Amino acid sequence: MPDRFLGQRLGDYITEERIGRGAMAVVYRAYQPSVQRQVALKVIKLDAGLGDDDEFRRRFA
C-alpha cells in the first residue's frame, strides 16, 4: 500500500523512510533541514480513534 506521507514535508521535517508502524502511529526517518539533522518522526494515526479524546488532543495538538 502506498504511503502518502513518504517523501512529504510535515512541518519542518521531510520524511525519507518508514522505519516502524503500530496500531496508533507510524515512525519515519526524516530530515530537519533547518538544523541539518536526521530525526525519528512519529505520526499519530487519527483513524485509530484518538482524535476524539480531549486529553489526547490537549497533549499532542
Kindly state whether residue 4 falls inside one of the protein's structural domains: no
Condensed to tens digits (0 to 9), the pLDDT of residues 2-22 reads: 788 999 999 999 999 999 999
Residue 43 lies in a domain: yes
Map residue 54 onto helix, strand or coil.
Answer: helix
Q: Is residue 26 part of a domain?
A: yes
- Report yes or no on whether pTM surpasses 0.85: no
**Count of the separate structural domains present in the chain:** 1
In a domain, 1, yes or no: no
With a CB cutoff of 8 Å and minimum separation 6, the contacts of 58 are none
Q: What is the CATH number of the domain that holds 25?
A: 3.30.200.20
Residue 45 belongs to domain spanning: 9-60
Question: Residue 21 domain-assigned?
Answer: yes
**Number of other residues whose CB lies within 10 A of the CB of residue 56:** 16
pLDDT-based confidence at 56, cuts 50/70/90? confident
Residue 3 lies in a domain: no
